[in-house]
């Protein structure tokens, strides 16, 4: 039997061998290599639709891999320094939820920052876990939530010694990193597992002089978005586990919610991208950091914009900073981040990752070219020249600490009533309200609705943020707990 190395891509190779056999399909998918849907074939190409195949013996099965998928997962675990790696085709949302479902049961506690992705709170709705929030500090100028302070975390652990796990963002959407090694040491000393949401940290495993990865820090589980900075197809991710985690049980948890019809387009893209990063990742991410540094310097020369970086590091709530995140504060230009986001797209045909009330994020990755960096910088300069305004009266607060009244599961499934949003002050919310991206809830089920939160939601809507989460598509009404 051949010894596999990081130069191999088992799923990719199996697909190539399968194509050579010219097998006649009497299985799903029903488009039969594109013959039944010519428009789909025209859009995606014959090579793509011919590789959109179903699980079968030569190609293994994602739910219970025994051959090529198993081999590909072993190579991924080796590349990422994990004991085990699981291929996820439901995005990092699915990986995050599998982490939480693996370590917590109904009524059990998990310690986490409140500035988490909605997938974290969704998992608690599903399994009935109780959140213990460590509310992050906020940078007063930038209005962004920071990392977890060790002192805050230790206090939460002492007050909740029965908590099962701690979840950490590594990094946050804005590039902020907590002291992950110390968090792991502290949590393990208290008998708690450490879970890392590394949706934006794939490159931590392959770059140099960048923040530490979850597996290198000794975390127990990590959800990694290969499709963000790793180069795989959208919706493909890895779930990584350490040596103290029962991999068989995690597989069972994953199979509770993940599809039994895993897309081989996604699976092969994970396999190929892992190989690419294992072979060339160090070199590629060195270039990415260089491009981001260049862009940051040029943007800061324009005036009024502030592209922030490692100068924010304070050794605690900002223990480290991911330089590949081109986060830019815009309020001194007199424009909300979402306004700059819209102008870049509508006036300059540039699509950045997101804009919120005070910041924008341009995602720099292995696929970016220098000429496009120059185009972004030039567009931001033009926006300042053409659209600059007085910033008086602009809202700056990005993070509002919640008042948790009941658990997410209790609130989501409780009896509820729908009220006009501005009439809900003091009530308990039973659904989500968030700007997407980034998908961090402004309100989550079980939280008290305050006047500050209502003001923020109204302001975000006026500025053009894309609001989601409510049953009412117009985001004009909110579901609240009945009689509470």
Q: What is the pLDDT of residues 35-93, one digit of tens each?
A: 899 999 999 999 999 999 999 899 999 999 999 999 999 999 999 999 999 999 999 99
What one-character DSSP code corresponds to residue 472? S
Max Cα–Cα distance, the chain, nearest Å: 70
The pLDDT score that the predictor gives to residue 143 is 87
Residues 6+ apart with CB under 8 A from 362: 295, 326, 328, 352, 353, 376
Reduced to 3 states (helix: H, G, I; strand: E, B; else coil), residue 135 is: coil
> What would the mean pLDDT of 393-420 be, rounded to a whole number?
86
Which residue's entry shows tokens 């310690």?
111
The pLDDT score that the predictor gives to residue 245 is 98
Q: Please state which CATH number belongs to domain 282-387.
A: 3.90.1150.10
> What would the mean pLDDT of 414-437 be, rounded to a whole number?
92
For residue 458, what are the CA distances in angstroms to 330, 357, 433, 467, 477?
Answer: 20, 12, 11, 10, 12
Can you tell me the distance from the alpha carbon of 96 to that of 449, in angstroms, rounded to the nearest whole number? 26
The pLDDT score that the predictor gives to residue 399 is 66
- Average pLDDT of the chain to the nearest whole number: 94
Q: What is the pLDDT of residues 14-30, one digit of tens each?
A: 999 998 888 888 888 98
| Residue spans per domain, the chain | 282-387, 408-481
Q: What is the pTM of this model?
A: 0.95
8 Å CB contact between 257 and 293: no
Can you tell me the distance from the alpha carbon of 45 to that of 37, in angstroms, rounded to the nearest whole number? 11
Q: What is the pLDDT of residues 154-179, one digit of tens each?
A: 999 999 999 999 999 999 999 999 99
Q: Where does residue 27 rank: exposed (0-12), middle (13-18), buried (19+ CB within 10 A)? A: exposed
Q: Which fold has domain 408-481?
A: Ornithine Decarboxylase; Chain A, domain 4 (3.90.100)
Can you tell me the distance from the alpha carbon of 403 to that of 381, in angstroms, rounded to the nearest whole number? 41
8 Å CB contact between 333 and 161: no
> What would the mean pLDDT of 116-131 be, rounded to a whole number?
94
- Worst-scoring range by mean pLDDT, 194-203, 213-222, 393-402, 469-478? 393-402
The pLDDT score that the predictor gives to residue 397 is 64
């Amino acid at each position: 039997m051949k010894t596999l190395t990081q130069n191999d891509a088992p799923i990719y190779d199996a697909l190539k061998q399968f194509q050579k056999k010219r097998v006649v399909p009497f299985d799903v998918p029903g488009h039969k290599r594109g013959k039944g849907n010519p428009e789909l074939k025209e859009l995606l190409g014959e090579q793509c639709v011919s590789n959109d195949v179903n699980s079968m013996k030569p190609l293994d099965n994602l739910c219970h891999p025994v051959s090529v998928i198993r081999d590909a997962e072993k190579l991924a675990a080796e590349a990422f320094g994990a004991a085990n790696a699981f291929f996820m085709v439901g995005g990092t949302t699915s990986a995050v939820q599998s982490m939480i479902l693996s370590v917590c049961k109904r009524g059990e506690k998990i310690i986490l920052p409140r500035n988490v992705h909605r997938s974290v709170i969704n998992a608690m709705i599903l399994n009935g876990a109780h959140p213990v929030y460590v509310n992050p500090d906020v940078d007063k100028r930038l209005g962004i939530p920071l990392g977890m302070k060790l002192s805050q975390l230790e206090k939460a652990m002492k007050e909740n010694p029965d908590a099962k796990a701690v979840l950490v963002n590594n990094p946050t959407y804005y590039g902020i990193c907590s002291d992950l090694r110390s968090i792991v040491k502290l949590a393990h000393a208290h008998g708690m597992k450490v879970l890392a949401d590394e949706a934006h940290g794939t490159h931590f495993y392959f770059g140099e002089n960048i923040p530490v990865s979850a597996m290198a820090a000794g975390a127990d589980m990590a959800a990694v978005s290969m499709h963000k900075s790793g180069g795989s197809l959208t919706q493909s991710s890895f779930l990584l586990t350490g040596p103290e985690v029962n991999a068989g049980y995690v597989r069972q948890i994953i199979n509770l919610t993940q599809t039994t019809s895993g897309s081989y387009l996604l699976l092969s893209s994970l396999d190929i991208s892992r190989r690419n990063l294992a072979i060339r990742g160090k070199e590629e991410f060195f270039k990415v950091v260089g491009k981001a540094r260049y862009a940051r310097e040029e943007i800061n020369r324009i005036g009024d914009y502030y592209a922030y970086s490692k100068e924010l590091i304070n050794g605690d709530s900002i223990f480290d900073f991911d330089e590949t995140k081109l986060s830019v504060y815009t309020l001194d230009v007199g424009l909300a981040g979402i306004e700059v986001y819209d102008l870049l797209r509508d006036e300059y045909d540039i699509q950045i990752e997101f804009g919120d009330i005070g910041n924008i994020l341009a995602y720099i990755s292995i696929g970016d070219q220098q000429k496009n960096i120059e185009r972004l910088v030039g567009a931001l300069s033009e926006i300042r020249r053409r659209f600059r305004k007085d910033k008086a009266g602009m809202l700056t607060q990005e993070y509002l600490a919640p008042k948790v009244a009941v658990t997410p599961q209790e609130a989501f499934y409780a009896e509820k009533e729908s009220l006009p949003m501005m009439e809900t002050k003091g009530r308990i919310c039973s659904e989500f309200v968030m700007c997407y991206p980034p998908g961090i809830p402004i309100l989550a089920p079980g939280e008290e609705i305050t006047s500050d939160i209502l003001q923020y939601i109204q302001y975000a809507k006026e500025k053009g943020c894309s609001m989601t989460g409510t049953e009412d598509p117009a985001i004009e009404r909110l579901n609240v707990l009945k009689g509470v």
